[in-house]
Structure 1
Amino acid sequence: MTEEKQPLLDHYQHRPGSSGRASALHPKCPGCRVAHLRDKNAPVPFKLLVLLGFVILANALPIAVVYPFLYFMIEDLHVAKRKEDIGYYAGWIGSSLMIGRMLTGVLWGVIADRYGRRKVMVCGILSVVVFNTLFGLSTSLWMALLTRFLLGGFNGMLGTVKAYASEICSEQHQTISMSMVSTMWGFGLIIGPAMGGYLAQATDFSNFSSSVISCEFFFSSLQPAIKYPNIFKSGSLFARFPYLLQALGVLVFALIALVMCFYLPETLHKDHTSLEIDEEDTGKDPISVESDTKEKQSESIFRNWGFISSTMVYCLWSLHDIAYTEIFSLWAVSGRSYGGLGFTSSNVGEVLAISGLSMLLFQLTLFPIFAKWLGPIRLTRVPTLVAIPILTAYPFFSKLHGNSLWAILLIASITKLILGQATFTGSFILINNSVKQAQRGAANGFSLSIVSLFKAIGPAGGGSVFAWCQTRQHTWLLPGDHLVFFFLNFFALLTALMTCKPFLPSSTAHPILE
């Protein structure tokens, strides 16, 4: 053995929790080389988490950056015969990414388990570089649909990132790593629309009496050639492709994240077949022991009840969360005669921006303390229960005005966002705890595919319920928006129930020993 490898071998043979057997170390295995990060006394790898956080941010931006200009993009493509049909086509573009991600999530998980986590992350960032940029160059509805679909299909890194985050930290630090995943993902979904909105800032919606006119003015001002005629001349690149500027903004983030991917070490164990031998296997034929162990590790994740129940918790809360995101904006901008707040789009943007920054600050400071105190199961259950009375109070906010309305609404919105991210973090930990490392890529890929289906259902269901409730303002049982938030509370309660026995086994509170 070379002099370089001997110190590494000594480290693994004598590190806390090591069996001390030479078979536990394979110097050529990338997973073994970073296994010390999972030691009980290992510090939090903040450098790796910062790099991973930027990769997650670059992955989340292309999902949300389209929302501010999607309405006008459909109008500019001349596919809708009536303005009432614009939302229909916009919905198809919005859901095409989720459909692509749903179809390939499991495949990318299997690839991550076989070829490595970092390779899947690199492919995911490359898909953002290529397909999101092509989306900015779209000149037809079919090109827009196809590029968004391919972006979702070739980007399966979210599940892989969650598996990776659990593999670079010890058990006691998993809440920090998973919090980084959920926080940066949520933050990306907030600042994504802000990137588009920044190009159209300084539009005063209060000067418009008609919300429809103000929205059309807002969307049209997103076009750089219209807003900045002195910079982007007629016939220039951005005049021909008015949605390319947002795509190039995301491209910059993606290229930086692509470089950061190569500074992230691989965590997948490979390049060896030697397996640790249990005490009960001592004296058995090594070949038969290896065969039996591999068979145990290859047990189907679909027969793992802990994994299935953890995935259902994740899916139910995702449906609730994305429906809330859509309903909150619709409710806030609807008139007070319909139980809304009469806000402008800029008012909603201010609430979401303040809530997002507050959530980020809380997640990076106080959240690890609460997560360690509650544990992963209660971390998932308690926030869903606390969210119910908050959502129940939302319809009564229309009785408030002025500073009191803003103060109460901001407190409620910030609290709801913090609770939502806490539940996501807990569900991520439960999913990774329920399977072994060799299955985490496939497990997270499968959960990503299923949750994409729920996220496609959430906006459609939430929007339909909201539209229906606008027609029943004076019924005696759950009138108007009271029924909308009852709909959200139903799925919050269902999520909480799924974290209780017999649905969720207590074994998911701790990772499976490998």
Structure 2
Amino acid sequence: MDRRLLILFLTIFIDLMGFGIFIPVVPIYARELNASDALVGDTGALFSLMMFIFTPVWGVMSDRYGRRPIILAAIGLSALSYVMFAHATTLFLLIASRMLTGIGSGNITAAQAYITDITPPEGRAKAMGLIGAAFGLGFIFGPPMGSFIYMHFGIEWVGYSAAIICALNLVAVWLYLPESLKEKVHGRAITVKPVGGAIRALKDQRFRDLYLISFIFITAFSMMQMTIALFWTDDYGLDKEQIGWMFAAVGLASAIVQGGMIGWLQKTFGERRLMIFGCLSLAVGLGMIAFIPQSLFLPLNIVSIALLALGNGCLNPTILSQLSKNAEQREQGEVLGLNQSFGSLARIVGPALGGRLYGWHHALPYIGSGLIMLGALFYVYTYQRAKDRVPA
């Protein structure tokens, strides 16, 4: 493995472990601060709104100034937001701290662009799978750590622990991650126009359907992710620590698929089939959550987690690989930043919709997300048909 990929893998793992600490904590803590189910969803939506606004900016800045300084700046801002979270004793401070974390979440865009700088097109799906594995491993260790700290040391140390992890990450990047961008685009303007940028991006036939597939996929997944801790607590009686271990199982399965299987899956089935398999696996894995009886909670949740990991592992690296192959080298950061922006927009819609559906009936977020993933197949078909019409 390229030494830079290993360092980047460790960097993203540490960063995502700090991020994963908050996944089981924020919905439950928001409810303890008397937030309604809808407002719990809106807390996640506002975090993602900031990502939607600022992620394209980080992407363009990484093209202009380089990947390394953007990664460093994003980690520093995240650390500051986690310290603020440690002192969030009101809903206002909780939401404000999560919004600041969203502003600082430019790390992944720069990391994805870094990969495109150092890998050939045919190796990018596998390399992007390594980033997915870092996500998975971060979610293995982060959620149970967050749940354990929350239960035994209080909300303050959830924030402080994440800030310490960020500080360690900052030192590691500063010492060991070299710059990857050889030709910086200094003349590129930096603007904050996420809606206009998204609309313009949808006019580009190279990327339109991929952006839409990504948006639908992440909307469906975030509907589940923001409400599942409440569902496991309300309907199955799980405590905070058990919820953390459930998220760890999701992370472990994702790490296995994206870290160890994506290269084999790509060679065996090809990216075309992986996009279809991914949508179907996610549709079934999400939809079945609503119908799991208490007596079969563990075995059927294992099946659901396996399907979610397989679907995520098939779809996400493949979308990133297709985007990077369709983009010119000078626009890699911008294109991947726009994809992150569509993902952030989906994470605005998904939690807000999921929280409201959960308030109406606990099963609705999972039935709805499964149906949404079936709808994504239309755009997969549209994209693949358009690719077939392009001369080789």
- Helix, strand or coil for the counterpart of 1:304? coil
Native 8 Å contact 1:320 1:458 kept in 2: yes
Q: Which residue of 1 aligns with 2:195?
A: none
- Within the candidate set 276, 297, 306, 2:206 is matched to 306
Verify: 1:110 aligned to 2:23, yes or no: no
Cα drift, residue 432 of structure 1? 1.5
Q: Report the more deviating stretch, 85-94 or 321-330.
A: 85-94
Q: Which residue of 2 aligns with 1:97?
A: 47
Give aligned-pair identity as a percent: 19
Native 8 Å contact 2:66 2:181 kept in 1: yes
Cα displacement string for residues 69-121 of structure 1 (whole angstroms, at most 9, x for unaligned residues): 44675588xxx6xx4x4556544543332222111122111111111111111
TM-score normalized with structure 2 length: 0.83
Cα displacement string for residues 262-314 of structure 1 (whole angstroms, at most 9, x for unaligned residues): 422322232799xxxxxxxxxxxxxxxxxxxxxxxxxx855421212211111
Q: Which residue of 1 aligns with 2:80?
A: 130
Cα drift, residue 123 of structure 1? 0.9
Native 8 Å contact 1:388 1:489 kept in 2: yes
Distance 1:416 1:168, change over 3 A: same
Cα separation, 2, equivalents of 1:410 and 1:355: 9
Q: Which residue of 2 aligns with 1:197?
A: 147
Verify: 1:51 aligned to 2:7, yes or no: yes
Verify: 1:187 aligned to 2:115, yes or no: no
Distance 1:271 1:187, change over 3 A: closer
Alpha-carbon RMSD across the aligned residues, in angstroms, is: 3.2
Cα separation, 1, equivalents of 2:314 and 2:142: 21
Pairing 1:140-151 to 2, within 5 Å after superposition: 140-151=90-101
- Helix, strand or coil for the counterpart of 1:305? coil
Q: Which residue of 2 aligns with 1:438?
A: 330
Gaps of 5+ in 1: 1-43, 201-220, 225-241, 274-299, 336-340, 471-480
Structure 2 letter corresponding to 1:126: G
Verify: 1:492 aligned to 2:373, yes or no: yes
Cα drift, residue 444 of structure 1? 1.7
Cα separation, 1, equivalents of 2:161 and 2:87: 14
- Helix, strand or coil for the counterpart of 1:268? coil
Q: Which residue of 2 aligns with 1:230?
A: none
Tell me how many residue pairs correspond in the alignment: 377
Cα separation, 2, equivalents of 1:272 and 1:147: 33
Cα separation, 1, equivalents of 2:378 and 2:266: 19
Q: Which residue of 2 aligns with 1:406?
A: 298
Native 8 Å contact 1:165 1:181 kept in 2: no
Cα drift, residue 425 of structure 1? 1.3
- Higher relative contact order, chain-length normalized (CA < 8 Å, sep 6+): 2
Structure 2 letter corresponding to 1:268: L
Higher helix share: 2
TM-score normalized with structure 1 length: 0.65
Cα drift, residue 390 of structure 1? 4.3
Q: Which residue of 2 aligns with 1:169?
A: 119
Q: Which residue of 1 aligns with 2:69?
A: 119
Gaps of 5+ in 2: 187-199
Structure 2 letter corresponding to 1:499: V
Structure 1 letter corresponding to 2:323: I
- Helix, strand or coil for the counterpart of 2:183? coil
**Greater Cα radius of gyration, structure 1 or 2:** 1
Native 8 Å contact 1:326 1:463 kept in 2: yes
Pairing 1:29-44 to 2, within 5 Å after superposition: 44=1
Q: Which residue of 2 aligns with 1:208?
A: none
- Within the candidate set 253, 267, 276, 1:372 is matched to 267
Q: Report the more deviating stretch, 143-152 or 157-166.
A: 143-152
Cα drift, residue 466 of structure 1? 3.2
Cα separation, 2, equivalents of 1:396 and 1:87: 21
Native 8 Å contact 2:79 2:167 kept in 1: yes
Cα displacement string for residues 329-386 of structure 1 (whole angstroms, at most 9, x for unaligned residues): 4444444xxxxx5555554443332342233234332331112223333222212123
Q: Which residue of 2 aligns with 1:232?
A: none
Cα separation, 1, equivalents of 2:344 and 2:184: 33
Distance 1:489 1:94, change over 3 A: closer
Cα drift, residue 452 of structure 1? 1.0
Cα drift, residue 439 of structure 1? 0.6
Q: Report the more deviating stretch, 309-318 or 90-99.
A: 90-99
Structure 1 letter corresponding to 2:370: N
Cα separation, 2, equivalents of 1:254 and 1:165: 21
Cα separation, 2, equivalents of 1:272 and 1:146: 33
- Within the candidate set 349, 359, 368, 1:467 is matched to 359
Structure 1 letter corresponding to 2:254: M
Cα separation, 2, equivalents of 1:449 and 1:388: 23
